[in-house]
């Protein structure tokens, strides 16, 4: 990739602006706290020019690790002005929550191993060994937690209990399930009596971003009430599963898990440490089980209901993420690449739309229901490179960088016009622009 000095300097300025010392907030006003996969993507960018700061970003995530191994999707800023955010989760109600830090009670796609390895690639052998030695116990405990708590029947697939755990908050498959099975009675009443404007005034995001670019208020209320229910169960997975709350084996999460498991094994091998035998079996199991999410009829992958094992056949960009997992057959990879080439599906002028252009859900500016997101593009570029489609990877890298240089470091982009949407000065857009330019 040609160096783009202006783009790189601009991106560094965004990361400097969002730098909170030991972590980088995704955006200064709307997202002041630390998010798990955001910090991983940010570290992947930082490693290109400030390796120490990249390591600090990862170490600060470790601080939030629960005693059972979970790494939460959010670690809250201790600033007194955010007391309300911390109280919403009140993580202290769970005995496993870390001492002296307020966090959420759920996780996010396990991008940690990827970030660790990407940092490792920039280190000389001896430094890499000590980096891997330092991080392996924490990483291993996190993956063990995923299997202990989220794969209770040893099926190979990890289940998620809140749309926030997928990172794609209002993605169609989850919204479909929510509207069918999970919407509380009071929200149904709000919906049918058309009382949503009463609640819209309480939203913080729409004070920063036009309402049409965010999720619908009913969906936002659904996410909020799901969080309240999890909190009532003390974020205890046994109680959550007993009460048939959300339990979905999400495609994004599990594709990232497959790749993260490979990285975990590579890290252990590099420093000649063994991974427990049962973990190795579980990890192998995940690779095999990913194929259970394939639907031959539509030629796509989907998320699956944990209880009924039914695929949730609502298309989204997640269908392409098994390319990133890297374990699927060449034949299936080819079928996915065909979707990527099809202008009615994912080949919009500014790919990749988070929902296929021909889906009834598609809305080019509505959050995870259409816009293109740079982190997803990064994952798919990486997957295409490793799956034998280097030209597709280069084309996607170029169109992603064009979209950013023309429009700025925004949270997401209209895939039809490239226009910016969401908040400006968004950390992972900046970080990954640097990474795509330099590697």
> Site residues (CB under 6 A) for ligand GLC?
26, 31, 35, 37-38, 167, 169
| Upstream peptide bond of 79 is cis (omega within 30 degrees of 0) | no
CB of 423 to ligand GLC, least distance (A): 9
Is 177 assigned a catalytic role?
no
CB of 429 to ligand GLC, least distance (A): 10
CA angle (283 as vertex; 280, 289 as ends), nearest 5: 140
CB of 26 to ligand GLC, least distance (A): 3
Q: Which is nearer to ligand GLC, 115 or 289 (CB)?
A: 115
Q: Which is nearer to ligand GLC, 37 or 142 (CB)?
A: 37
What kind and span of H or E run contains 51? helix 51-63
Cβ pair 304, 293 in contact under 8 A:
yes
Q: Which is nearer to ligand GLC, 35 or 235 (CB)?
A: 35
Q: Which residue is nearest to ligand GLC (CB)?
A: 26
Per annotation, catalytic residue among 149, 169, 250, 385? 169
Burial 121-156 (b: 16+ CB within 10 A, else e): eebeeeebeebbeebbebbbbbbbbbbebbbeeebb
Give the separation between CA 2 and CA 8, rounded to whole angstroms: 11
Is 411 assigned a catalytic role?
yes
Q: Which is nearer to ligand GLC, 167 or 173 (CB)?
A: 167
Q: Which is nearer to ligand GLC, 31 or 142 (CB)?
A: 31
What three-state secondary structure class fits 191? helix
CB of 24 to ligand GLC, least distance (A): 11
Give the separation between CA 319 and CA 105, rounded to whole angstroms: 27
Q: Which is nearer to ligand GLC, 174 or 294 (CB)?
A: 174
CB of 438 to ligand GLC, least distance (A): 23
Per annotation, catalytic residue among 250, 385, 411, 435? 411
**Angle (deg, nearest 10), helices 36-46 and 374-386:** 60
- Taking the CB of residue 83, how many other CB atoms lie within 10 A of it? 12
Start-end of H helices in 233-329:
237-242, 251-270, 277-290, 322-325
Q: How many CA atoms lie within 13 A of 347 on its CB side?
A: 11
State the DSSP code for 317: G
CB of 247 to ligand GLC, least distance (A): 20
Give the separation between CA 303 and CA 310, rounded to whole angstroms: 9
| Catalytic annotation, residues | 169, 411
């Amino acid at each position: 990739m040609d160096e783009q000095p202006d783009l790189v300097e601009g991106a560094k300025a965004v990361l400097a602006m969002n730098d909170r010392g030991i972590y980088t907030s995704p955006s200064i006003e709307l997202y002041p706290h630390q998010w798990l996969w955001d910090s991983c993507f940010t570290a992947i960018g930082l490693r290109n020019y400030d390796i120490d700061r990249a390591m600090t970003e990862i170490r600060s995530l470790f601080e939030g690790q629960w005693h059972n191994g979970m790494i939460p999707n959010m670690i809250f800023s201790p600033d007194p002005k955010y007391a309300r955010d911390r109280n919403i989760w009140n993580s202290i109600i769970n005995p496993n929550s870390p001492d002296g830090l307020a966090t959420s009670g759920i996780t996010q796609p396990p991008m940690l191993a990827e970030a660790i390895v990407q940092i490792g690639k920039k280190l000389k052998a001896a430094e890499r060994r000590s980096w891997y030695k330092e991080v392996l116990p924490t990483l291993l405990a996190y993956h063990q937690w995923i299997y202990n708590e989220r794969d209770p029947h040893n099926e190979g697939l990890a289940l998620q209990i809140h749309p926030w755990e997928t990172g794609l908050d209002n993605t169609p498959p989850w919204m479909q399930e929510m509207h069918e099975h999970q919407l509380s009675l009071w929200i149904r009443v709000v919906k049918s009596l058309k009382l949503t404007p009463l609640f819209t005034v309480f939203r913080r995001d729409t004070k920063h971003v036009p309402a049409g670019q965010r999720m619908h208020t009913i969906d936002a209320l659904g996410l909020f009430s799901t969080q309240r229910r999890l909190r009532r169960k003390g974020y205890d997975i046994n109680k959550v599963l007993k009460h048939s709350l959300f339990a979905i084996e999400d495609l994004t999460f599990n594709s990232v898990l497959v790749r993260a498991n490979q990285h975990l094994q590579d890290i252990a091998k590099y420093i000649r440490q063994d991974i427990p035998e049962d973990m190795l079996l579980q990890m192998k199991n995940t690779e095999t089980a990913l194929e259970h999410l394939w639907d031959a009829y539509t030629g796509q992958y989907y998320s699956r209901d944990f209880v009924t094992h039914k695929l949730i056949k609502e298309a989204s960009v997640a269908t392409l993420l098994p390319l990133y997992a890297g374990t699927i057959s060449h034949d299936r990879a080819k079928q996915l690449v065909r979707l990527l080439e099809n202008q009615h599906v994912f080949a919009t002028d500014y790919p990749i739309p988070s929902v296929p252009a021909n889906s009834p859900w598609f809305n080019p500016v509505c959050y995870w229901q259409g816009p293109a997101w740079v982190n997803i593009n990064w994952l798919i570029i990486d997957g295409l490179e490793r799956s034998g489609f280097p030209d597709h990877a280069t084309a996607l890298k170029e169109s992603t960088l064009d979209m950013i240089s023309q429009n700025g470091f925004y949270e997401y982009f209209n895939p039809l016009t490239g226009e910016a949407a969401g908040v400006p000065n968004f950390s992972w857009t900046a970080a990954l622009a640097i990474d795509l330019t330099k590697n």
